Structures are given as C-alpha cells and as structure tokens.
Chain A
Amino acid sequence: MKKINCLIVEDDAAFQTVAFHMVQKADRRLNPVGMASNGAEAIEMYNRYDIDILFLDIHMPDMSGFEFLDEIEIKEDMQIILMTGDEDYALQAFEYGITDYLLKPFSAIRFRKSVSRAIERLKSEGQSSSTENVLLRKALQLAHSRNKDLVPVPSRTSKLGYTYPLLTINLDYENEFIALDILDSAEKEGLLTGEFVDYIYSCNSCYNGLLHFREACPKCQSSHLHIEDLVHHFPCAYVGPVSDFVKSESSDIMECPKCKRILKHIGVDYDKPSVMYSCQQCDHEFQDPHIKAKCHDCGADTRVERLVKRKVKKYKLTKLGRDAATGKYNINLKGFDELNDIINDEYFIRLLKNEIGRKKVANFDSTVAALQFSNLTDLYQGIGEKGQKDLIIELFEMLNRELHSSDAVIFKDRITTLFLFTEKGVEESQALLTKYKDRLAELIRDNFDDFEVTFEEALMLIEEQKEPQFHLKQLMSSFNNVE
C-alpha cells in the first residue's frame, strides 16, 4: 500500500505537535513528510515532496494560507484540509476547492473523519495509486479499447515462460510474476473471468518459469545417471538389465545369460518390466530418481515437488472490468497483500524515530517492546498460507482494539510483534504487555483447539541518543533464534 504524504503547515508550535500526533494516529497510511511554520518553508517543502494531503493554517506570519495556495501549483488530486480558528473564510475556502474545513479547537474524532474523507477523495480522484492497481487499470484500458482478451502468450524471453503482453509490458523481468497475482485478485474482485490455459512450475526462490529439469540420484543428488531397461526372459525367469543380454556392441542379438538362448520377440519370450537407474557418482541403484529443476536465473536446484505451481488463465473483461477501464469504477484490489500494512517495521521505525525526536525536547519515559510467539510456527505448518494471513490479521485487529490510542503495534514478521508505549515507564508498559499476551493466547486458544502459544518477550526504555534501528536490534537480540 502506498504511503500518503502529508504536509502540516502551522505557525503555532504547540498546535503543530498536536496536529502531527493526530495525523499519525488517524490512519497508518499517512506519512507526515514535514512540518512548516511559515509560508516560505511550506513552499519549499511542498516543492520537495509529492504531497497528497495538505493540512493548512490560514494565519501565518509571512503570508496567508490562501496566498500560499496561490503561490504553489496545486496538484490535481491533492486534498487540502484547512485548520483555522476563524470561520469567516469558509466561502473563500470552497472557491479553492478544499476538502474540509476544521474549526479550531476540533476533536480527534472530527479530525479523523476529515482525514478519512480526504483519503477517500484522494483515491477516487487520482484513482488508486498502488502499483498493482495502476498496472491493472492500464491493462484493462488496453484490453477494452482494443477489444482484446488478456491472453497468455508463450515466450522464452519472459521470466514465467508466459507473458500477458498488455500487462507484462509494464513489469520488469524480475517482477513479471506479479502479473499472475494481479490477475488473480482482479478475477476475485469480479473484474475478469478466467479460463484455464496451463499450469506452470516456477522456481521457488525467484519465480523463474523456464527451468532445466533432469533426474538425480536420491542419495548423492548427482545427475550423472545411467538408465537401463530391465529384461525378463520368460522361459527361465532370468531378469537383468539389457546389458546382461547384449553379446557384442556391434550386434543387436540378445542372448540370455542364464539359459543361453537367443531372445526372439518382445512380448512373446521376453518383456521389459521396468527401468533401473544407476548413479555414476556413487554407484547407487534405484528406480525412483529425484526429479530436480535447476534455475539458470538464480542458481537454485530444487526438487520438483517444491516448485511453485501456478495456474495460467486466459481472461475476459467483465462488465465491471469494462467500467473500470472507462473510469466508471475505481479499482482497488483488496487482499493483494493484506499483510503489507501489518508486517511493516518501516512504519514502526518511522514512529519510533518521531518518538525519539519528541524525547529529545521533553522529559518523559517511553518504551518499546517485542513479543515473539516461540511456537506459532507449529501452528502455521498446519493451516497454510491463507490461514496464517487470516490469523495475523485477526491478532493485529484485536491488539489495535485493546491498545491505548497513543500507543502503536506492528508485526515485524509473522511471529514477532513490536509495541511502542508512549509516555509510559517500564512498569506500566510491562503490565500492558502482559495483558496483551494473555489476550493473544486466549484468542489463539479459542480458535485453534486449545493450542497453547508460548512467548518470548523483550522490553526497553527508548534512548533518545540512539537510532531506532538500535532499539530494534537490542530487542531482537534477546531472542534465542537470532543468528
């Protein structure tokens, strides 16, 4: 999910901080890129960043908010939220086409509503701006305008071995596999209907679909194998590889080594009941070789059972798909990767950075904590990818409901949760952490047949002279499994 860049233009330092916190709490996608306390600063920052939402005060020392708007080139889809103590500007504000008008002092709830409206409008005006959505929209537009289907074309230059020209054209080689994910979710959203064309097996580390397959020895993994048919000579019941029967290399005559008779016709006096492999590397003899696939892109040599198997389909646009192509419907692929927002330590680092900044100017204690589910992988093994995602989403939503409004939680990975407790000492934070642990354990118990989850935990005070990364490293190093 793309971040929404926000700029806060406000001359009152106290209110600036309040606004900053409100922005952070309102929606996690919001990314406050800067704060300006006068018009000149604001113009400079606006030009430096690609701003999506602008929080603007009307009264500034060097110019008014409207003057500022006159100065800059307003991006077509940018949302502006005015913040002022004076209601006289309402009319003027609407002439500028601003999104909302907040009268100071305003409540956090009012602020949040305003922000979510801005995000909503941002989406509908600029269309959804995430890469997946843009790519899909382009592909749908192309397909619609040319009245074509999205057909997979075999290609040896593409990463997957199949390419969807209308879609893959916008992806670089390394990321071609994303096309399949996009089309999958588009079908789920009802934009496309798919019809099976083929299966592909691709490398499980880089998704390369053009692999080099061959048999390998199950003992030593060598592919240097000798393969021979077994021959069963009916009259004397002798069984051995063809080479046992060959008299000389120059002739085709096969003679039974047991009864010395010449073999006549396959099916009449002999047959070939099976095949034997012998490894030229380790002399192992076997019938069930490993089939391995070598990826010439990343060098991985994988057993075929472990390759990634994907369906390749031919897609037709639905009515909804055509509406999306003509802009009547706003594409917003759900569940594209639901965990992107949840497993996101970048976001956490940003929060932590702000908190460290805050601590530099004020004197209070804040803590960060990490909670690791030490045996959750046991549970994961049985529930598959989908089950894992659903579980993480559920855990995350539960924690968010429980959390104090000033605190934050995020998953670092699928088994580690990070907490930020603002303006709380160790003791208070520890109490909260214990409470959350109980709630997590309870939720897992209820959902998975009394599965008893176990935790490891770490908690520390934020040190203002240290980087955010330092804190995370410190937390993680207290867990056993850190390399």
Chain B
Amino acid sequence: MVDFVTYWSMEGVSGFFRVFWFFILFEFPRFIVMDYSMLLVYWIKGKFAEKDYQEAREDFLSAKPFISVIVPGKNEGENFERLVESLEEQTYRNFEIIIVDDGSDDHSTVIGRHLEKQGRIDKFISNTVRGGKASAANTALRYATGEFIVHLDADSSLRYDAIEEIMIPFYMDSKIGAVGGNLEVRNPDVNLSTTFQQIEYNIFIMVGRMVTSSLGILRIVSGAFGAFRKEALDKVHGWDIGPGLDGDITIKIRKLGYRVHFEPKATIFTTVPESFISLAKQRMRWSRSLVRFRLRKHNNLFMPFETFDLRNFLTVAENIFFNFILNFFWYIYMIDIIVNFNQEILYVLVAGIMLYSTSKFLQYVVVLILSRDWKRKLKYLAYLPGMVFYTGYYMRFIRTAAYLKELFFKDSFSDNWNPLKTSAQAKILEKNIERVFSKTGS
C-alpha cells in the first residue's frame, strides 16, 4: 500500500496521463464530460420547455390519435398476459393491440387466440411458418390501422403512462418520425448478471441515449419499445431482415429526413438474460449488427453523395468509432501498458480500478439525478466497482469476438435467430449490392 502511494506520487500528473491516456483521450470526454454537459443543457432546456411539453400533451390528448401497438415474437405466449395487463392499465386508451406469432412451437398460439376471443387483443395473427422477426413485424404493420405504431417486445411490461409519454414528442416537433422509449430491467435483483445489466441499461441507454438524442445523433429506437409515425414506416416499407433491425430502421427513417428522439419518461420494463452465458449470446447478436448494418448496408452514409447529412454521418460515425474502432484500439493500449509498465503492472491495475470506479460513480450520479425512482436505485452504488470488470472486460471481449466473427465469416447470416431461408436470401442480396457498388466504383 505504501509502495503504491509512493509509486504514484513519484509518477505525478504526467505519469498518470502517460498510463491512462486511453481514458483521458477518449472515455473521459465521451462519457463524463458529455453526460454532464447534457445534464446541464437538459436542466436549462427543461426550464423553458415545460410549457411546450404541457402544450404538446394537450395537443396530443385532444387529437386523440389512433395507435397500433404491435408485438411480433416467437414462443412468447407466457408473456402475453402480463404485457396485455400493463396495456390495459394505460392512461391513454385509444389503441389496438396486434400480436404476431412467428411460427411458435409452444402454446403461444393457444394463448394468443384465447386473448383474442376474450377481446383483450384486437388481432392475433399466427404465421404457422416461421419467417423471422422482421417479417412478423411487417405482418403486423400490414394490418395496423393506427396513425402511429408502437412496437413492443412481448417479454416486457409498460409503466402505466408509457404510451402517453412516448407519444408527446411527436406533438412537440412535427419532424420527429420515431421516438425511442426508456428500458428498465424488470428483473434486476435476480443475480449479479441482471444487477449489472440494470446499471448498464441506466448508464448507456437512459443517459447515453439522452446524450445522443440531445445532440441529434440518436442511432437506435429500441425494438423493445419504440413509437413511429405510420407514414414513416410505410415510406421505408417496414423492417428489413435482422438481427439489428431496430437500429437499421432508425437509420432508414433518419435518411428520409425525419428526426429521431429518445424519451426517458416513457418507460418499459424488460426481462434481461439471467446468466452470463445467455447474456453473451444476446450481445454477440447485437454487436454483429453494427458491422452488418453500419459498415456494410448503410456505408453510403460515409460517402459524400448529394444525400449527405452531417448528423446522419455523425450518428453512424460516433457509433462506429466508440464501439468498433476504439474496441480494437484498446488492445494496442493494453500492449503499451504491458510492454512499458511490465514491472509496475500491479500498481497500474489497482489505480485503473479506482479510476474507472470513480468514472462509473460519476456516470451513475447522472442516472440518479435523472431517475424518478432514484431512491430505489441508490443500492446499486455498491456494485459500481464490479461494473469496471463487467463493461471493461466481459462486454469488451464479447464485442471483439462478435466483430471478428462477423467481419470474417459474416456470421449473422447463419444465425439461427433468422430462419435459414431468409438468411440465404439476404446474403444473395448483399452480394448483388456489392457487385453494383464495385461496378459504379470502377
């Protein structure tokens, strides 16, 4: 301990900068500085926007638009009851519920039909042949009659005012085409894995998306809870094959010139994986989609075409830089540390944990300030040091593996998350696109 203090007092500020350059250059400005700036902007804006918000709310309630709540899914039958119950308790009531069952092999169809018979859901459409999540969502969209579409995952339940809150931004800004809702973990206290996810969701989804949203570079409207103008979805003809279809459709809507907004007050509770292994599988899927959609499908966002839009460019660039490039850059940083600080590695490690814990703490303070139920979330402060390992190593390794596999093996096309038939077709499509691009390039 004494050695540790002696070491760092000898190194001084310049030594600290030398060791933790990765943090100071990239992570500190991106997360701490940005979070607090956003908080400040949000606070100032909030002072002026309260009136706008109330006006928009009144506009919304007097317009009373018809909304289609669509819920595509496979083998989700056991979740229907709870979801429908939370929809029945909504403050806003003018909506229809369409559940699309994508070739379930459990009792989902029976449960869905039963709810339909009871009149608790308006349409239950069962595709007996599985077609993938995008096709299920598109089926729902085809039969939706609402002016707005709210897309939900079946394994979630809504806060009593969630529908109302997610709709209000549309009435604050007519250019908004899609609004993402806030995701809270429904099962945070099951085990360490779900507790970490609860903190992660709060830091990266709630605060993270508030930051990107206020900068106008929100890149994803979460599939678990997102609202869309029907006309916007109709223009892009619904969802394309996933995984990552929610991020993909957000980009497509942005390309049409719509704004995309994140609404932290519209809250949905979602069930997260309860083991580190199933969590890893889920994140592999999410991460692969970054390569597939950002780097491949929407690579024209980087090209200085006539459609170039700085915000759209930044949206994707931010995502790619911080998640993809820095992910690999970090290994260079690690080599630097191991090679140059071989002798003092223990001191560096301990200091690193302290530094990152402090950083997590600062980020979590923002979470607490922005949360309506901050008292409940106080207890998770104790888990913040653990988060250093969770996001610093566990998540990083999963991402790396996912990127590499997708880059070199196009892994997502053989993912059994989609049926084989659609993956095969998507692969052919991608090849054709590549061919067209290489032709125009030459």
Contact = CB atoms under 8 A, between A and B. Distances in A.
Contact of B138 (A239, A272, A286): A239
Contacts of A105: none
Contacts of B425: 234-235, 269
Given A230-B139, A232-B131, A237 B123 contact: no
Interface string A248-273: 00000000011100000001110111
A239 B240 contact: no
B131 A240 contact: no
B128 interface: yes
A349 to B, nearest CB: 46
Nearest to A275: B128
B240 A273 contact: no
B241 interface: yes
Contact of A239 (B117, B123, B139): B139
Contacts of B139: 230, 232, 239-240, 273
A230 B116 CA distance: 20
Contacts of B240: 236-237
A273 B134 contact: no
B103 interface: yes
Interface in A382-435: none
Contacts of A287: 124-126
Contacts of A269: 425
Contact of A271 (B113, B131, B241): B131
A424 to B, nearest CB: 54
Interface in B59-75: none
Given A234-B425, A238-B238, A285-B143, A274 B128 contact: yes
Contacts of A238: 135, 138, 237-238
A342 to B, nearest CB: 38
B239 interface: yes
A257 B236 CA distance: 11
A234 B422 contact: yes
B429 interface: yes
Given A239-B138, A239-B139, A234 B421 contact: yes
A240 B142 contact: yes
A273 B237 contact: no
B132 interface: yes
A241 B127 CA distance: 12
B143 A232 contact: no
Given A235-B429, A237-B132, A237-B240, A288 B116 contact: yes
B84 interface: no
Contacts of B130: 273
Contacts of A234: 131, 241, 421-422, 424-426
A152 interface: no
A223 to B, nearest CB: 19
A67 to B, nearest CB: 77
A234 B238 CA distance: 13
A235 B138 contact: no
Contacts of B103: 273
B369 interface: no
Nearest to A274: B127
A297 to B, nearest CB: 29
A33 interface: no
Contacts of A258: 237-238
A267 B422 CA distance: 10
A343 B138 CA distance: 61
Contacts of A272: 129
A235 B237 contact: no
Given A232-B131, A273-B131, A288 B142 contact: no
A372 to B, nearest CB: 33
A237 B422 contact: yes
Interface string A45-60: 0000000000000000
A230 B421 contact: no
Nearest to B236: A258
Given A273-B128, A274-B125, A288-B124, A235 B238 contact: no
B428 interface: yes
Interface residues of A, number: 27
Contacts of B117: 218, 288
Contacts of B241: 234-237
Given A232-B131, A288-B113, A237 B239 contact: yes
A354 B113 CA distance: 60
A276 interface: yes
B232 to A, nearest CB: 15
Contacts of A237: 131-132, 134-135, 138, 238-241, 422
Given A239-B138, A269-B425, A232 B127 contact: yes
Contact of B125 (A259, A267, A276): A276
Nearest to A269: B425
Contact of B123 (A235, A240, A241, A286): A286
Given A234-B422, A285-B143, A273 B113 contact: no
Nearest to B239: A237
Contact of B428 (A218, A235, A257, A286): A235
Given A218-B117, A273-B103, A288-B113, A239 B124 contact: no
Nearest to B98: A285
B143 A273 contact: no
Nearest to B131: A232
A241 B125 CA distance: 13
A377 B126 CA distance: 38
Interface string A213-242: 000001000000000001010111111110
A238 B128 CA distance: 16
A237 B425 CA distance: 10
A393 B428 CA distance: 75
B103 to A, nearest CB: 7
A230 B127 CA distance: 9
A40 B238 CA distance: 100
Contacts of A241: 142
A259 B136 CA distance: 17
Interface string A275-298: 010000000011110000000000
Interface in B137-175: 138-139, 142-143
A239 B429 contact: no
A375 to B, nearest CB: 26
A232 B130 CA distance: 10
A236 B123 CA distance: 24
A240 B142 CA distance: 6
Contacts of B424: 234
A274 B143 CA distance: 14
Nearest to A218: B117
B253 to A, nearest CB: 15
A285 B125 CA distance: 10
A250 to B, nearest CB: 25
Contacts of A218: 117
Given A230-B139, A271-B421, A235 B426 contact: yes
11 contacts: A235-B429, A237-B138, A237-B240, A237-B422, A238-B138, A240-B142, A257-B237, A271-B129, A274-B128, A286-B123, A287-B126
Given A218-B117, A235-B429, 16 more contacts: A230-B127, A232-B131, A234-B241, A234-B425, A234-B426, A236-B429, A237-B238, A237-B240, A238-B238, A239-B142, A268-B421, A273-B127, A273-B130, A276-B143, A285-B123, A288-B117
Top 8 A-B residue pairs of the complex, sorted by shortest distance between their CB atoms = A273-B127, A237-B134, A258-B237, A234-B425, A273-B129, A239-B139, A235-B425, A232-B131
